[in-house]
Amino acid sequence: MSLSSFLQGVLPQTAAGADALDQAAQGLGYTLSVPDFGGLRTEAQQTQLQTWEQQSCATGQGCYAVAPPGSSFHECGAAFDVQIVSGGSSDADYRALADLAPSVGLRAGYYFAQSDPFHFELPMSLAQACQLYNQQTTGLAIGGSALALVLLGVVVWWAYSKP
């Protein structure tokens, strides 16, 4: 199973980056997987993650990076999270993984001001990422509507061409 098979609905560039990262990581002896909610997220899922993070942080179970709902690359299919499941999971291992990112067209959360070692995203602004995502989903919607109209035309033609 390719890593991108766990990333349904993300941008093609994101899926390609994930598979290239996976390949490069295998070269270093790492096996990667995608955690729950590690790919495309709805705004509701992002809100849920933020709530869990706040509870975890408030109860001393650990604070971690979660972008506010409406400002996450995950919501525009331009990011994914990975876990190293074998080959090592220390900070140095995640840094080694992060250092692969530029060569596969990605930006690593490891180097964010608030480090997010599991996170990778396309190297562009959030606005650019969401524009790409909107173009892609709008394109699919237009394509789907056009197909529906053609099918309707065929059905109407068929119905009226009967003797």
C-beta of residue 69 within 8 angstroms of C-beta of residue 49 = no
Shortest Å, Cβ 38 to Zn ion: 7
Strand 79-81 with 119-121, pairing: antiparallel
Token pair of 89 as six digits: 């999971």
d(CA 79, CA 146): 30
Shortest Å, Cβ 2 to Zn ion: 19
Return the DSSP state at 67.
P
C-beta of residue 102 within 8 angstroms of C-beta of residue 112 = no
Binding residue (CB under 5 A) for Zn ion from 21, 30, 66, 81: 81
Shortest Å, Cβ 64 to Zn ion: 10
Side-chain-side CA neighbours of 161 within 13 Å: the count stands at 6
**# of chain residues touching Zn ion (CB under 5 A):** 2
Q: Is residue 22 within the footprint of Zn ion (CB under 5 A)?
A: no
Side-chain-side CA neighbours of 93 within 13 Å: the count stands at 17
| Nearest to Zn ion of 71, 145 (CB atom) | 71
| Nearest to Zn ion of 37, 137 (CB atom) | 37
Q: Is residue 119 within the footprint of Zn ion (CB under 5 A)?
A: yes
| Nearest to Zn ion of 57, 148 (CB atom) | 57
Shortest Å, Cβ 11 to Zn ion: 14
Taking contact as CB under 5 A, which single stretch among the options 53-61, 96-104, 111-119, 137-145 is the one that binds Zn ion? 111-119
* Contact set with Zn ion (CB under 5 A): 81, 119
